[in-house]
Amino acid sequence: MNGFVWKPATVGEALQATVSFFARQGIDSPRLEAEVLLAFGLGVNRAGLLAALRDRLPEEQAAGLGELVQKRLTGCPLQYITGRQEFWGLDFTVTPAVLIPRPETELLVETALALLGRSPKTGDTWIADVGVGSGAIAVSVAREIATAQVLALDVSAAALAVARQNAKGHGVAERIRFVEGDLLNPAIDGGLRLKAVLSNPPYIPAGEIPSLQREVACFEPMLALDGGDDGLALYRRLAPQARRALEPGGFVAWEIGYNQGRDVAALLAAQGFAEVRIIPDGQGHDRVVTG
Ligand code: GLN
């Protein structure tokens, strides 16, 4: 990479250099990202890194760290380099086969838990997570509700493998059934009656994808972002499927784009869903719709 001069003699020099490269690149939290990345490269935690600032860096180790820094400077998200992202207070493995879990999506988990808490307990509680990705939603819900059985669906076998690994890591794999397939089709074909259909489907209008942050547009899976021409393609197919698969009194809770509340609410209402609600996030944008 042009202008990438990297000859740190100590851990402290490596950190300083990384912070200034990241700041020049316009990375939001250059110091935090530099600490997390170098700690990862050295196999220590952040406290360990900060305790080692005066340590000399053998040339080979310095070169290894330099490669990580350059990778980040190409735009590759930090989480794909370290392979980790926190969600719902849990540590998740992520790979480029899955969307990096976003903090906004915790509102979907919170909303789903509130609705599940209110619904009567009638034997098995089957909850589907459509487009499970890393498993952030499925695993968080399974951890919170000990009686929940989760049907984790995805068209991507690679994503399902990541979700399965996260479920195992968090001790909930026996209560999550992983099935490869298109939206809710596997549940409908299997005749499973669901208490809830949760989903954070791809919802970005195809034409807007190029203008997303480079980190997102060039590195995250298109399959998890592309919502067709108007961003609503997946909701349009999912709404009638959910109607068929839900048991009486069941509900949907879906993440939506910042301006998609009315459209998705209308799709649900057209399928006969009642009590359709649009729930805004902390910034006042549409974020979750339920029915
Ligand atoms: N929230 C993601 C983003 O801002 C998009 C997630 C999705 O399409 N489901 O890039």
φ, ψ of residue 17 in degrees (nearest 5): -65, -40
Our mutation pick for probing the ligand 1 site, out of 238, 255, 259, 289, counting the most ligand atoms within 8 A of Cβ, is 255
pLDDT for the residue 89: 98
Separation of 159 CA from ligand 1 center, angstroms? 16
Ligand 1 and 246: CB distance under 6 A: no
Q: What is the ipTM of this complex?
A: 0.92
Tens-digit pLDDT string for the chain (291 aa): 567 899 999 999 999 999 999 999 999 999 999 999 999 999 999 999 999 999 999 999 999 999 999 999 999 999 999 999 999 999 999 999 999 999 999 999 999 999 998 665 656 789 999 999 999 999 999 999 988 999 999 999 999 999 999 999 999 999 999 999 999 999 999 999 999 999 999 999 999 999 999 999 999 999 999 999 999 999 999 999 999 999 999 999 999 999 999 999 999 999 999 999 999 999 999 999 999
- CATH superfamily, domain at 95-290: Vaccinia Virus protein VP39 (3.40.50.150)
pLDDT for the residue 253: 98
103-140 pLDDT per residue, tens: 999 999 999 999 998 665 656 789 999 999 999 999 99
Q: Where are the domains of the chain?
A: 11-74, 95-290
Q: Is the distance from CB of 268 to CB of 256 less than 8 angstroms?
A: no
246-261 pLDDT per residue, tens: 999 999 999 999 999 9
pLDDT for the residue 125: 86
Ligand 1 and 216: CB distance under 6 A: yes
pLDDT for the residue 74: 95
- Give the chain as a DSSP string: -TT-----SBHHHHHHHHHHHHHHHT-SSHHHHHHHHHHHHHTS-HHHHHHTTTSB--HHHHHHHHHHHHHHHTT--HHHHHTEEEETTEEEE--TTSPPPPGGGHHHHHHHHHHHHHS---S-EEEEEES-TTSHHHHHHHHH-TTEEEEEEES-HHHHHHHHHHHHHTT-GGGEEEEESSTTHHHHHTT--EEEEEE----B-GGGGGGS-HHHHHHS-GGGTB--TTS-HHHHHHHHHHHHHEEEEEEEEEE--TT-HHHHHHHHHHTT--S-EEEE-TTS-EEEEE-
155-177 pLDDT per residue, tens: 999 999 999 999 999 999 999 99
pLDDT for the residue 124: 75
Angle between helices 11-25 and 30-42 (to 10 degrees): 140
Ligand 1 and 285: CB distance under 6 A: no
Annotated binding site: 131-135, 154, 200-203
